[in-house]
Amino acid sequence: MELGFIGLGIMGKPMCRNLLKAGYECVVYDLVSESVEELVKAGARGAKSAAEAAKEKEIVITMLPNSPQVRQVVLGENGIAAAMEPGSILIDMSSIAPLASQEIGAALAEKGVEMLDAPVSGGEPKAVDGTLSVMVGGKCEVYEKVKELLLCMGDSAVYCGGLGAGNTTKLSNQIVVAMNIAACAEAFTLAKKAGVDPELVYQAIRGGLAGSTVMDAKVPMMLEGNDRPGFKIDLHIKDLNNAVETGHALGMALPMTVQILEMLEQLHGDGLGQKDHSALVRYYEKITGVSVRR
């Protein structure tokens, strides 16, 4: 089967490579032509526009930064909505606002095009290994049709409910990840300030109740001073803003999320928006004068 794949960034590239390895033919597009070339070298066919990548495809996948980019690529001028045929399926794997998924899905439904929101968790390493966690919203029967394809990119896919439920699940995920990173940054900075080696603290606590996937992925980066993204601070700001907007629309305050959002905003203001979100430890470095780096 030939698929359209649009958005070849940190995540999209390895996800598309795994689809190629699984035998899918992919027509790919990104604003960055070097990224298209990389995938062409891996066996994909390059397109000159998103609409060209989507034309006559049963399934189109998008992996873009946020709601405005997905709206533009799908519904904007020369968008893929006009190129997709009734009965075809858009799987948007970007992490966007749940309300935006519902709006885009409603516009596509008018053309008879189905849509799933299927954001992922696991970051670049799991995108490379094909072991992402996929959380899916939309019609269950549409999900059943594409489940096998999703499992070429992930080792789990969970159907979470109607359109937007995938992104609501992802926002919950992003709150937990942000708080875990902030907790690690605060705790390891305290240890260093108190004269205890953060490396030993990590070894002592990682197997206990405080241990987590986030701790194992991000604390070694903090100790190495490695802030190569990974997951960029600016993307985490985007997710937490979407979480706060979603909460406010439901009449719910998110006091802890807002606190971490402010720390990340400060780092963005300090020019660190393109660094990995584990660079949140730099916020603590700034306010304490203490670095956890080895």
The neighbour count for residue 48, using CB atoms within 10 Å, is: 10
By C-beta, is 54 or 191 nearer to ligand NAD?
Answer: 54
Residue 241 binds ligand NAD (CB under 6 A): no
The answer to whether 154 and 120 have CB atoms below 8 angstroms apart is yes
The answer to whether 188 and 202 have CB atoms below 8 angstroms apart is yes
Cβ at position 208, least distance to ligand NAD in Å: 26
CA distance 13 to 19: 10
CA distance 230 to 283: 18
CA distance 158 to 66: 22
CA distance 56 to 36: 20
Q: Which residue is nearest to ligand NAD (CB)?
A: 9
Binding to ligand NAD, residues 33-72 (CB under 6 A): 35, 50, 63-65, 69, 72
By C-beta, is 30 or 114 nearer to ligand NAD?
Answer: 30
Q: Is 92 helix (H, G, I), strand (E, B) or coil?
A: strand
The answer to whether 26 and 164 have CB atoms below 8 angstroms apart is no
What track of x and - describes contact with ligand NAD for positions 6 through 25 (by CB under 6 A)? xxxxxxx-------------
CA distance 60 to 73: 12
Cβ at position 94, least distance to ligand NAD in Å: 4
**Which residues are marked as active site?**
170
By C-beta, is 35 or 189 nearer to ligand NAD?
Answer: 35
Q: Which residue in the set 3, 60, 120, 219 belongs to the binding site for ligand NAD (CB under 6 A)? A: 120
By C-beta, is 65 or 247 nearer to ligand NAD?
Answer: 65
What track of x and - describes contact with ligand NAD for positions 66 through 105 (by CB under 6 A)? ---x--xx--------------------xx----------
CA distance 133 to 244: 23
Which residues form the interface with ligand NAD (CB under 6 A)?
6-12, 29-32, 35, 50, 63-65, 69, 72-73, 94-95, 120-121, 123-124, 230-231, 235
